Amino acid sequence: MNPPPFEIHENVRRASTPPARFYRDPAYFEWSRDAVFARSWQWIGDADMAKVPGQVHPFTLLEGCLNEPLVLTRDTGDQVHLLSNVCTHRGMTVCEGGGNERFLRCRYHGRRFGLDGKFQFMPEFEDVEGFPSEADHLRALPLHRWGRNLFTSLNPLVGAENVLGDMERRLAWLPLDEFVHDPAASREYLVRGHWALYVDNYLEGFHIPFIHAALNEVIDYAQYATELYPYSNLQLAVGGGADDVFDLPTSSPDYGRPISAYYWWVFPNLMFNFYPWGLSVNVVRPLAPDLTKVSFIRYVWDRSRLGRGAGGDVDRVEREDEAVVELVQKGVQSRFYDRGRYSPTRETGTHHFHRLLASSFGS
């Protein structure tokens, strides 16, 4: 049985936050797998996962939440495919390890597929009627690319352009193909709190002067602004003086402004944090109603700018946020808390997120 929907008033001045039961009840958490995450666009990595013809890269989409086995392939014609990694015979995992292959072969009963996912051969099936059919191919998934970044969706509510287009156009001047993955500086954090509480916190700058003292010193909080888009929103951090800012080209709509960071959130669980040194991709992975894993994947563009400005100490900011979210997780368990209100000037991003959530749950 599905949990009851909830409403978020469209006017932020009249609206109240989701009821506390949304953050507590396991039924909402389970329903969100299909109602929210399976219908969203998810970041899956960069194009180097299948860089050369014949390369295959198996992975699990949003492990701990969606747990969907997929495989990225590049065929001999240099075309990239994203496929289900589940054999259409008996459900065995087809590709068990990365490398270079001429085809995909399930070692359970020998069913073979091309690198494009098309069925090729199956032993002992000569007398099967109506075989093979379209159902015997590996399922192909939509694949969207922006620079080096790859995205997919299991059951997209809307096309990738509707979700990612605003970010891509705003930051079209960035040479994303020059950004280099820095695994040594990438991190994973385990947060003892609900995934949506983590997103709530990210989407408002209201807490910056109270929680992030060091960050507050290098940005102009008075000019901190949120811009809303259909399935994403942008928090724009303006430099507070001599701090490190972007060298914006004239083609940027922000040319002439001292921008310290672009904090771009994509519904429901992706954050793209652009700094003068590069990009931190944050993927929020729900594990349980009170447990979340957050992956920080770093891509460096200008190493000489590391350690400066708004992106100078990302780890410290994360630890400060983590401590707050875990305290809020304890608070929403209280018998005396149900719903709060929004600051119309500082919490429009969080209100926007909650409106999208409510819509996903059918209110």
What pLDDT does 324 receive?
A: 95
The pLDDT > 70 percentage for the chain reads: 99
189-221 pLDDT tens trace = 999 999 999 999 999 988 888 888 888 888 888
What pLDDT does 285 receive?
A: 98
301-319 pLDDT tens trace = 999 999 888 888 888 988 8
Q: Is the pLDDT of residue 363 over 70?
A: no
Q: Is the pLDDT of residue 228 over 70?
A: yes
What pLDDT does 321 receive?
A: 87
Rounded average pLDDT over 5-23: 97
Q: Is the pLDDT of residue 242 over 60?
A: no
Rounded average pLDDT over 21-45: 96
Of 132-146, 165-179, 240-254, the range with the lowest mean pLDDT is: 240-254
What pLDDT does 211 receive?
A: 85
Q: How confident is the model at residue 231 (pLDDT cuts 50, 70, 90)?
A: very high
Q: How many residues does the chain have?
A: 363
Phi, psi (5° rounding) for residue 334? -65, 145
The pLDDT > 90 percentage for the chain reads: 86
The domains found in the chain, sorted by start residue, are: 42-152 (2.102.10.10), 177-360 (3.90.380.10)
320-335 pLDDT tens trace = 889 999 999 999 999 9
Q: Which two tokens stand for residue 142?
A: 């939509």
Q: How confident is the model at residue 241 (pLDDT cuts 50, 70, 90)?
A: low
104-140 pLDDT tens trace = 999 999 999 999 999 999 999 999 999 999 999 999 9
37-70 pLDDT tens trace = 999 999 999 999 999 999 999 999 999 999 999 9
Residue 67's Cα: distance from chain center in Å? 15
What pLDDT does 335 receive?
A: 96
Rounded average pLDDT over 173-189: 94
